[in-house]
Every structure is written in C-alpha cells, then in structure tokens.
Amino acid sequence: MSNRIFLLLVFCGIAASASAQSDFNRFNFTVGGGYGIGRGDVASFVGASDHGVVGGGVNFSRLFGIDAEYMYYNLNFRPSVMQSQSLSDQSGQMQSISLNGIVTVPRHYGKLGAYGIFGVGFYRRRVSIPNRFLQAGTTYQPAWRWWDLTWVNNIPGGQLNAQNMSSNSKDAGGFNYGGGVTYRLNHLHNSKVYIEYRYHRAYQSDGKTIVWPITIGLRW
C-alpha cells in the first residue's frame, strides 16, 4: 500500500509541474494518505488504522469544484481482538468511491488556505480469514458480526448453526464531510500540500461503518 501511495505522489508532482503555468486550474487532482480513527465497530475491532486516497475533478470557479475520489481504508483487526475472538490471520479493508463538492475559502493568509468538502458515495467493506468450519453451538464472538453468520432458529445471540466462515463483503451507500488546510508550494504555485480531516459513514445492513481519516497529501 505504501509503495502505491509513493508512486502516486511522484506522478502527481510531475503532472503538477507541467500545469504550473496557469493561475487557475480548470481541473483538480488529489493524492494522499495517513492515519484513520475508527468509531463504533471499527473502534472496537480495528482501532487506529491507515488509509490512502486519490481523486480528480473539475473546478467551476476559484471557490467551487467537484471531484470523484477513491479511498482504501485498512480494516485489519487488532492483534488482541484476533487472539481473543479466534480470528487468526484476519485481514480486511473498506474501499469507497465518492462524488464530492469542494468549497474553497476565498480569503488566503499568505500561502495558507482552507476548504470544506462534502459528498456521497459507495462503500464496500470486506473481511477475510482462512476458511474454518464452525460446529453447531459454537460460541459467538462480537467481531464475527461482519461475517454474516446464521443462528439456530434465527435467534441472534443464541447458538450458531454449523457453517463455514471465510470471507464476506458488504456494500452500502454513505456520506462524508470534512475540511482541510493547504500550504501553497513556491516552485509549483498551483500545487499545495494539504492536511485534511474527514468523517465517513457507510450504512451496511449489519451496522454502520464509521471512520475518521486524517490525510496528508498533495492537491493541484
């Protein structure tokens, strides 16, 4: 994942250099990555995590634009959760594609600027473990809710049916909002280093998936 982000940053720097002759960019591009904070189930099972984003869109004016953005968010469980809930070698991720509006604050303070962002999107959460067979009556663990298991007599919280447990995906719609601060680069005056906070919420059928990614990257 880190290698992919590095290659994207290199590509973005080259492209930004080529476009730095204009005072106003008709198109906007973003690439970055950073630290994510989970809420709800994500906080309970995953805790803090890492993520990466890449996006591009159109600026209608210096104040308003739109972009389409792809995000990859790591959902590997904490070692303590994997050990205590019999989920050895678990892996997971949430991927999203969102369409966002970007509002740039018109006033700048030297090289510093700010913007707000909001949008809606499609989210896919996926978790996986090496295939295992659950005997009828196996004790249920809280983190297993992301695997769509079945219950005896369809009574949640009771005994589990005999079944296989391996991988499972959940698709859902959701939304995001947030904002960021930018710092204009001297030698690439249309390019900016940014730090951004976002709130993402997806409405999977087994519960909400909520993450707070904090991203550092390049916008131009």
Q: What is the predicted pLDDT for the residue at 23?
A: 57
8 Å CB contact between 192 and 113:
yes
On the question of pLDDT at 2 being above 60, the answer is no
pLDDT in tens, 28-49: 999 999 999 999 999 999 999 9
pLDDT in tens, 4-22: 544 444 444 444 444 444 4
pLDDT in tens, 64-123: 999 999 999 999 999 999 999 999 999 999 999 999 999 999 988 889 999 999 999 999
Give the containing element (helix H, strand E) for 153. none
Query: What pTM, to 2 d.p., does this model score?
Result: 0.85
Mean residue pLDDT of the chain comes to: 89
Q: How confident is the model at residue 186 (pLDDT cuts 50, 70, 90)?
A: confident
Q: What is the predicted pLDDT for the residue at 10?
A: 44
Q: What is the predicted pLDDT for the residue at 1?
A: 57
What CATH number has the domain spanning 2-84+93-127+168-219?
2.40.160.20
User: 44, 39, 1, 4: which is closest to 142 by C-alpha?
Assistant: 44
What average pLDDT score do residues 119-134 get? 97
